[in-house]
Amino acid sequence: MPSIAAEPYSFDLEPGRCAVVIIDMQRDFLEPGGFGAALGNDVAMLRRAIEPTRRVLAAARDRRMPVIHTREGHRPDLSDLPAAKRDRGRLATRIGDLGPMGRILVRGEPGHDIIPELAPIAGEPVIDKPGKGAFYATDLEAVLRNRGIAQLIVCGVTTEVCVNTTVREANDRGFECLVLEDCVASYFAAFQLAGIEMIKAQGGIFGWVAPSAALMAALA
Ligand code: TIU
């Protein structure tokens, strides 16, 4: 069983029971003109996660390790969009409004797509989620349990929002999460640090944290 140098202590990877989960690496969060920008963020802050995640994705595919992608977004008729989420922030451009990449955070629109660098390939489930957590109102748990997966290697954006929410949901369901700190990113430098600290503190209250190089070394 490969042991990954992680915090707060080593993570014992079980290759047959482990999946890579890539959270919401969508144009709407990483490119100008999408939801992340509509919220007032500097979307360039997230790009540092792309290249390390691309390397992890390639390594997982080489080893036939399951890969699951998620996307945050809503039905075109917005029937799954709570009014509280639509109205939050009193934004000039809201979810469902037309932007340069199509309607903001709506399934099927260009902005909802995963960025080309990390595009899913055949055989990799894509979980469409209406909320921040990837387990809420999705079949992610069934997909994982049907494949006998008990451990998640987590990449994606943003560290303190969808990554943290998903890791907390996974932890309560009995999954062990290893978050790759260079493969997750935040619009806020302070929240990147805090989001990582919150996972690994208190003996790994929500999971483990490691640089992607530690995973690569264990897989080599
Ligand atoms: N995917 C995800 O994190 N959704 C967000 O809305 N993140 C923010 O940081 N806003």
Per residue in 106-160, pLDDT (tens digit) is: 999 999 999 999 999 999 999 999 999 999 999 999 999 999 999 999 999 999 9
Ligand 1 mean position to 217 CA, how many Å?
A: 30
Ligand 1 mean position to 182 CA, how many Å?
A: 17
Cβ–ligand 1 contact at 24 (below 6 Å): yes
Active-site entry in 18, 24, 155, 200: 24
Active-site entry in 18, 155, 162, 183: 162
pLDDT on residue 193: 98
Ligand 1 atom, smallest distance to 161 CA: 3
Long-range contacts for 80-85 (Cβ within 8 Å, ≥24 apart)? 80/130, 80/137, 81/130
pLDDT on residue 1: 78
pLDDT on residue 20: 98
155 catalytic, yes or no? no
Nearest CA to ligand 1 atom 1: 162
Determine how β-strand 126-129 pairs with β-strand 67-72: parallel
**Percentage of residues of the chain with pLDDT beyond 90:** 99
55, 216 Cβ separation under 8 angstroms:
yes
Ligand 1 mean position to 91 CA, how many Å?
A: 15
Helix (H) or strand (E) holding 87: helix 83-87
Which tokens in the block code for residue 25? 């690496």
Which tokens in the block code for residue 113? 């797509």
Q: What are phi and psi of 30, to 5 degrees?
A: -105, -15
